[in-house]
Amino acid sequence: MLRFARLLSTKSTKNLFQLFPKTCPSQPPVFTVDKRSLRKEFRTLQQQLHPDSNVETVNYDDAQSSLLNKAYNTLKSPLLRAQHLLELQAGIDLSADGVSQEYSSQDKTLLFEILEIHEQLESAESEEEIESLKMENNKRIMESEELLNDLFQKHEYQQAALETIKLKYWTNIDNAIKNWEPGKPVNLTH
């Protein structure tokens, strides 16, 4: 508990994996995370941190809870986890202006594929068509996650950055599919 409290009180906690030592014991951290274990550890840590359940937590503040929540949400999402790992291990910040665009422009076929999928979503008229698009997209997401695991293990960060951008597109398509309604315009965020 003391080690955890020290990590949370450190304003410069950059490695969010360190906040979950049972779920993410290896250093440097790896891409694959057991989500069930992560959730269990998150709940345990939340409980330990809360002032009503722990006398030691006299200096509880919302910033600590916020950091724990941010860490949990980052690590449970394959996309956010990949972005975090890229920043930690290679100094690649895909949220920085131009960086994501620079990597996206390396794969010319990707943008055409995204446009084609967008058109398919726009022209879809039935739940069956959407279900088919959803299954195809779920396959793309799964393949990206598997490839990212491999790329991070091999320390191929440039390729991991490109694959993370692809995963971002697939995730955005997944969100568009979830929000699809017949006749409603489809918005894909980039």
CA dihedral 131, 124, 165, 179 (to 10 degrees): -70
- The mean per-residue pLDDT over the stretch 58-63 comes to 64
| 75: pLDDT strictly greater than 70 | yes
Question: What integer best gives the mean pLDDT of the chain?
Answer: 88
Is residue 68 domain-shared with residue 104, that is, in the same domain?
A: no
Report whether the peptide linkage leading into residue 28 is cis, meaning its omega lies within 30 degrees of zero.
yes
| 52: pLDDT strictly greater than 70 | no
CATH of the domain at 126: 1.20.1280.20
| 55: pLDDT strictly greater than 80 | no
Q: How many CB atoms lie under 10 A from the CB of residue 176?
A: 20
Is residue 71 a part of any domain in this protein? yes
The per-residue pLDDT for 130 is 96
The per-residue pLDDT for 51 is 65
Separation between Cα atoms, residue 145 and residue 123, nearest integer Å: 28
The per-residue pLDDT for 56 is 55
- Tell me whether residue 118 is exposed, middle or buried, using C-beta atoms within 10 angstroms of its C-beta: 0 to 12, 13 to 18, 19 or more: middle
Is residue 7 a part of any domain in this protein? no
Is residue 57 domain-shared with residue 126, that is, in the same domain?
A: no
Is residue 109 domain-shared with residue 63, that is, in the same domain?
A: no
The per-residue pLDDT for 1 is 47
Is residue 119 domain-shared with residue 66, that is, in the same domain?
A: no
- The mean per-residue pLDDT over the stretch 101-123 comes to 89
Is residue 128 domain-shared with residue 68, that is, in the same domain?
A: no
Is residue 163 a part of any domain in this protein? yes
Beta strands in 84-184 (DSSP E): none
Is residue 51 a part of any domain in this protein? yes
Whole-model pTM: value is 0.87
Separation between Cα atoms, residue 188 and residue 186, nearest integer Å: 7
Separation between Cα atoms, residue 74 and residue 110, nearest integer Å: 25
- The mean per-residue pLDDT over the stretch 27-32 comes to 91
- The mean per-residue pLDDT over the stretch 26-41 comes to 94
The per-residue pLDDT for 59 is 56
Is residue 115 domain-shared with residue 65, that is, in the same domain?
A: no
User: Which residues span the domain enclosing 36?
Assistant: 16-76
> What is the tally of structural domains in the chain?
2
